[in-house]
Structure 1
Amino acid sequence: MQRWEDRFQKEEYAYGIEPNKFLAQQLNHFKPGKILFGAEGEGRNAVYAAKEGWNVSAFDISTEGKNKALKLAKSNQVHIDYRVGHLPDLKFKPNHFDVIALIYAHFPAEIRKKFHSIVSTHLKPGGRIIFEAFGEHHLKYLKENPNVSGPKDQASLFSKKEVQKDFKDFKVILLEEKPVALQESLYHNGTGSVLRFIAEKL
Structure 2
Amino acid sequence: MKEFWDKRFSAEEYVYGEEPNEYLRSRLLELYPGEIMFAAEGEGRNAVYAAQESWKVTAFDQSREGKKKAMKLAEKNKVEIDYRVGDLPDLGYDKDEVDVIALIYAHFSPELRADYHKLLLSYLRRDGLVIFEGFSKKHPVYQKQNPQVGGPKDEALLFSMEEIKKDFGELNFLELYEAEVDLDEGEFHKGQGSVIRFVAQKK
Mapped partners of 1:98, 1:78: distance in 2: 19
Q: How many residue pairs are counted as aligned between the two chains?
A: 202
Deviations 1:152-202 (A, max 9, x none): 122110011101110111001111111000011111100000110110011
Write out aligned runs for 1:41-52 (5 A).
41-52=42-53
Distance (Å, rounded) in 2 between the aligned partners of 1:172 and 1:180: 21
Normalised by the length of structure 1, the TM-score is 0.99
CA distance in 2, matches of 1:145, 1:174: 28
Aligned to 1:172: 173
The answer for the alignment partner of 1:147 in structure 2 is 148
Tell me how far apart the structure 2 counterparts of residues 56 and 8 of structure 1 sit (CA, whole Å): 21
1:93 is matched with 94
**1:135, distance to aligned residue in structure 2 (A):** 0.6
2: CA distance, partners of 1:174 / 1:159? 15
Matching residue of 2:187: 186
Q: Distance in 1 between matches of 2:154 and 2:51?
A: 34
Deviations 1:109-160 (A, max 9, x none): 1111111011110000100000001011111011111000101122110011
Give the Cα–Cα distance (whole angstroms) in 2 for the partners of residues 28 and 95 of structure 1.
Answer: 23
- TM, length-normalised to structure 2: 0.98
Distance 1:83 1:39 in 2: 10
Cα deviation code 1:34-90 (max 9, x no counterpart): 000000000000000000000000000000000100000011110000000011111
Give the aligned partner of residue 115 of structure 1. 116
Partner of 1:14: 15
Structure 2 counterpart of 1:139, one-letter code: P
SS of the equivalent of 2:94 reads: coil
Structure 1 runs of 4+ with >2 Å offset: none
SS at match of 1:195: strand
| Identical columns (%) | 53
User: Please, which runs of 5 or more residues in structure 2 have no aligned partner?
Assistant: none
| Residue 131 (structure 1) aligns with | 132
Instruction: Letter of the 1:85 partner, please give it.
Output: G
2:160 maps to a residue whose letter is: S
Structure 1: stretches of 5+ with no match in the other structure:
none
Secondary structure, counterpart of 1:105 in structure 2: coil
Q: 1:22 offset after TM fit, Å? A: 0.4
Which secondary structure does the structure 2 equivalent of 1:6 belong to? helix
CA RMSD of aligned residues (A): 0.6
Q: Give the secondary structure class of the aligned counterpart of 1:199.
A: strand
